[in-house]
């Protein structure tokens, strides 16, 4: 809290930064674990380890926030800890409603962190509401089905020493219809740790080890006998094949004869298993390699339990949790998924590599110093000197390049960081909307600049929101048109050259071009005449216009006409483009194409007239000589045929209104640029060379000038403007869309801007 950190020196600032980054990571981790839990709840099988993870995470947060005087956060953590302890011990059941509360807590944590860093006011009321709801929850504690344990032939002595947690796990497993097995194993005291770990590892995919206790009947002083109680859905044979070790015997725990208590969901395998008792001789088990697990009924339980790496998520329909007051945190303030922390965690090995390069550079420096000294003493032969200098320069360049790429690598983080948060949003929105949505994520390990990943979360959130609200149909409607009742949103990321492509695809009702145009006309965004001239692509692009909505009544979630336009603008700021395709009845796909990094870019310097421009090489495919006689004109657009495909070309001198230079040229050349699926050839007068540049923004006063991403100094006082390839391609190939966006940029001067853009578009 502000009063805690105020007035202290740099160390305190640094510590606070650490606090933010650590807290942020914990909160992110909580989100992931909760998603895992959510999935478990739906599958009817909750992984107790996940609850433990959440518990530990909240506990650590409590400590952290206490340390940094974040009182509200500490209080919240404390209350949550109690709830989680109840969950852990089975005093309350893990239900979607409880999960709602926990998810809200994650959202609140993010807001509290943002408040801590002074970016936003503290969500005071929301925290109060949540605390109230938590309070109500703890009053609903249940016994959690005590008594079922009694139906098993378990040693009362054993039951007496179980901890509350173990007892709860035992009960929970029996209730879920798992069979109980007893593993008796003899361990050598010297290797007990590793042997026990090995057994745990083998047992983990098959079920849960509830407890292990020494039996007290060890054969001699060097060995110890343990009795391991395990719950599993697998058959005894499967267990016996999977869990092997010397002096290890698995048997099932007999059930007392009382058919009425048999859980309804007991699997066939478990039933078979309990009917027979087999003991595998220890030696045989040790020598035979464990065969792969059976298929069939056992298969699904062999899969690793829900863990942090989630690739799917589905939400059960149902009323949102508890009272209306709980809706507060998600809705009363504009939700942002951006992290409060600006920190990047770096693998120490990456830093080591950088350090090595610094060492190499130091060697170069020494060599230069030596050379300087020789020059001063006039001891060097000029020829030898120039050779030496050239060599040093090469070495220096190489190390600098390594350093550069090393530092860029440090900035890279997996997109999964943003995707995890989105999965949470999908769950929240789909529950609020009473729609069933399954999120399928691929390519979460695709790496992007940390800055871009952060800036991407919000645009992606808007797109997903839009997909759930407008795309995915309600269950009944889906069934009526023969679609699976659960909608799917696919989030795919992959690298494509120097770009990263992210697709947000839904299998919803798609966009009706006619309805889009009608809505735009109704809202006065386009005139009826203009509407008639729109191409299919331009119609879809209408959704990116500010204030556009097809909804007559705005909902809490979308339909207020903000969102997609902001998403597109923000992606544009990152140098990316959004493409949209949609088929009525089949679904909508938005494709985002982004550069991998923003920091230093590699450019091709070109001359147009007497002016120098830089084209980012990331979007350049190749440059070829332009033969004027090969240019064809189709529909007032100039085309070139390059390797059998048509390439529209754009004469930059004409587009920029620059006079031709008077001196001789080798050119003209065509620089073939590609962003996403769109290609365009830029006609330039001369190719000057390649260079690494740091891009600088043009001042605010030139904000309205489209087509330039910024400018860069070339080291000799000259400045080259950096061409915004994505913007120019869009402008040239889709002038309609540009016209709309420009018109909407400045609502006060709509018609003026519109005309201006038309002129530019046709220039």
Q: Which residues here bind another protein, judged by CB under 8 A?
A: 611-612, 655-658, 696-702, 704-708, 710-711, 713, 717-721, 760
Rg of the chain over Cα atoms, rounded to whole angstroms, equals 32
Shortest spacing between CB 545 and another protein, in angstroms: 23
Provide the 8-state DSSP code for 600: E
Q: Give me the phi and psi of 179, to 5 degrees please.
A: -90, 155
Question: Which residue, 447 or 737, has its beta carbon nearer to another protein?
Answer: 737
Give yes or no for a contact between 508 and 472, defined as CB atoms under 8 angstroms apart: yes
Question: Which residue, 625 or 705, has its beta carbon nearer to another protein?
Answer: 705
Q: What share of the chain is helix, strand, coil (3-state, %, to 5)?
A: 50, 20, 30
Question: Which residue, 432 or 607, has its beta carbon nearer to another protein?
Answer: 607
| Residues 6 or more apart in contact with residue 746 via CB below 8 angstroms | 753
Shortest spacing between CB 513 and another protein, in angstroms: 32
Shortest spacing between CB 119 and another protein, in angstroms: 20
Question: Which residue, 224 or 693, has its beta carbon nearer to another protein?
Answer: 693
Q: What is residue 188's three-state secondary structure?
A: strand
Question: Which residue, 362 or 705, has its beta carbon nearer to another protein?
Answer: 705
Shortest spacing between CB 757 and another protein, in angstroms: 11
Shortest spacing between CB 602 and another protein, in angstroms: 20
Shortest spacing between CB 345 and another protein, in angstroms: 31
Give yes or no for a contact between 600 and 693, defined as CB atoms under 8 angstroms apart: yes
Shortest spacing between CB 719 and another protein, in angstroms: 4
Give yes or no for a contact between 235 and 298, defined as CB atoms under 8 angstroms apart: yes
Shortest spacing between CB 710 and another protein, in angstroms: 8
Complete DSSP assignment for 228-247:
EEEEESS-HHHHHHHS--TT
Shortest spacing between CB 406 and another protein, in angstroms: 24
Shortest spacing between CB 678 and another protein, in angstroms: 21
H helix intervals, 561-700: 564-573, 652-656
Indicate the pairing of strand 719-723 with strand 611-616: parallel
Question: Which residue, 485 or 707, has its beta carbon nearer to another protein?
Answer: 707
Rounded (5°) CA angle 80-28-105: 30
Question: Which residue, 266 or 698, has its beta carbon nearer to another protein?
Answer: 698
CA-to-CA distance for 470 and 559, rounded, in angstroms?
A: 9
CA-to-CA distance for 362 and 580, rounded, in angstroms?
A: 51
User: Burial code of 23-34, b = ≥16 C-beta within 10 A, e = fewer?
Assistant: bbbbbbbbbbbb
CA-to-CA distance for 311 and 445, rounded, in angstroms?
A: 11
Question: Which residue, 290 or 705, has its beta carbon nearer to another protein?
Answer: 705
Question: Which residue, 382 or 699, has its beta carbon nearer to another protein?
Answer: 699
**Tokens found for residue 227:** 């009795």
Shortest spacing between CB 711 and another protein, in angstroms: 6
Question: Which residue, 55 or 613, has its beta carbon nearer to another protein?
Answer: 613
Q: How many alpha carbons lie under 13 Å from residue 229 in its C-beta half-sphere?
A: 26
Question: Which residue, 237 or 691, has its beta carbon nearer to another protein?
Answer: 691
Q: Give me the phi and psi of 424, to 5 degrees please.
A: -65, -40
Q: What is residue 548's three-state secondary structure?
A: coil
**Tokens found for residue 233:** 């859905």
């Amino acid at each position: 809290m502000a009063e805690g950190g105020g007035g202290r020196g740099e160390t305190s600032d640094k510590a606070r930064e650490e606090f933010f980054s650590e807290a942020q990571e914990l909160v992110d981790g909580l989100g992931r674990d909760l998603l895992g839990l959510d999935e478990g709840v739906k599958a009817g099988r909750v992984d107790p380890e996940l609850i433990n993870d959440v518990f530990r995470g909240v506990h650590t947060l409590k400590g952290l926030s206490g340390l940094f005087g974040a009182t509200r956060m500490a209080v919240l953590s404390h209350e949550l800890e109690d709830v989680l302890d109840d969950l852990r011990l089975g005093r309350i059941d893990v239900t979607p409603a409880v999960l709602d509360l926990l998810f809200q807590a994650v959202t609140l944590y993010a807001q509290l962190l943002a408040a801590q860093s002074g970016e936003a006011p503290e969500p005071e009321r929301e925290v109060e509401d949540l605390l109230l709801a938590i309070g109500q929850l703890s009053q609903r504690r249940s016994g959690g089905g005590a008594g079922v344990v009694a139906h098993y032939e378990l040693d009362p002595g054993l039951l007496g020493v179980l901890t509350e947690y173990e007892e709860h796990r035992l009960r929970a497993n029996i209730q879920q219809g798992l069979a109980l097995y007893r593993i008796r194993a003899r361990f050598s005291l010297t290797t007990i740790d590793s042997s026990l770990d090995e057994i745990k590892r083998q047992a983990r995919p098959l079920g849960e080890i509830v407890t292990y206790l020494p039996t007290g009947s060890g054969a001699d002083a060097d060995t110890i006998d343990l009795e391991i109680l395990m719950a599993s859905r697998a058959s005894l044979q499967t267990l016996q094949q999977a869990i092997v070790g010397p002096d290890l015997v698995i048997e099932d725990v007999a059930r007392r004869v009382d058919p009425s208590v048999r859980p309804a969901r007991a699997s066939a395998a478990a039933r078979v298993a309990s009917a027979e008792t087999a003991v595998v001789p220890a030696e045989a088990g040790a020598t035979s390699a464990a065969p792969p697990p059976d298929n069939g009924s056992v298969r699904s339980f062999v899969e690793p339990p829900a863990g942090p790496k989630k690739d799917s998520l589905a939400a059960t329909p149902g009323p949102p949790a508890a009272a209306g007051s709980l809706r507060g945190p998600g809705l009363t303030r504009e939700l942002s998924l951006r992290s409060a922390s600006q920190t990047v965690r770096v693998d120490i090995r990456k830093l080591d590599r950088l350090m090595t390069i610094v060492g190499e550079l130091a060697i170069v420096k020494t060599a230069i110093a030596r050379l300087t000294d020789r020059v001063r003493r006039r001891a060097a032969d000029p020829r030898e000197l120039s050779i030496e200098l050239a060599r040093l320069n090469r070495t220096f360049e190489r190390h600098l390049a390594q350093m550069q790429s090393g530092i860029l690598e440090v900035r890279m983080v997996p997109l999964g960081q943003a995707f995890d948060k989105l999965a949470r949003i999908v769950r929240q929105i789909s529950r609020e909307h009473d729609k069933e949505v399954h999120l399928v994520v691929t390519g979460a390990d695709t790496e992007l600049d940390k800055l871009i990943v952060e800036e991407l979360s919000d645009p992606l959130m808007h797109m997903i929101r839009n997909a759930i609200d407008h795309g995915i149909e309600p269950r009944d409607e889906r069934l009526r048109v023969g679609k699976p009742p659960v909608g799917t949103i696919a989030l795919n990321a992959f690298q494509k050259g120097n770009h990263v492509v992210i697709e947000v695809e839904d299998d919803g009702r798609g966009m009706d071009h006619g309805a889009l145009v009608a809505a735009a006309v109704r809202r006065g965004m386009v005139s009826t005449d203009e509407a008639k001239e729109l191409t299919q692509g331009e119609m879809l692009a209408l959704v990116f216009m500010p204030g556009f909505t097809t909804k007559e009544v705005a909902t809490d979630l979308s339909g207020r006409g903000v969102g997609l336009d902001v998403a597109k603008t923000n992606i544009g700021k990152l140098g990316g483009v959004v493409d949209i395709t949609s088929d009525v009845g089949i679904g909508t796909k938005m494709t985002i194409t982004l550069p991998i990094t923003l920091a230093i870019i590699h450019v091709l310097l070109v001359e147009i007239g007497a002016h120098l421009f830089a084209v980012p090489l990331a979007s350049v495919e190749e440059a070829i000589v332009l033969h004027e006689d090969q240019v064809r004109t189709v529909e007032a657009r100039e085309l070139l045929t390059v390797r059998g495909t048509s390439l529209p070309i754009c004469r930059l001198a004409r587009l920029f209104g620059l006079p031709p230079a008077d001196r001789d040229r080798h050119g003209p050349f065509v620089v073939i640029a590609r962003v996403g699926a769109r290609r365009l050839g830029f006609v330039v007068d001369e190719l000057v060379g390649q260079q690494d540049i740091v891009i600088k923004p043009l001042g605010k006063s030139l904000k309205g000038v489209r087509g330039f991403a910024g400018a860069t100094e070339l080291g000799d006082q000259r400045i080259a403007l950096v061409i915004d390839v994505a913007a120019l391609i869009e402008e040239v190939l889709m002038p309609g869309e540009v016209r709309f966006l420009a018109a909407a940029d400045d609502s006060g001067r709509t018609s003026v801007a519109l005309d201006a853009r038309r002129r530019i578009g046709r220039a």
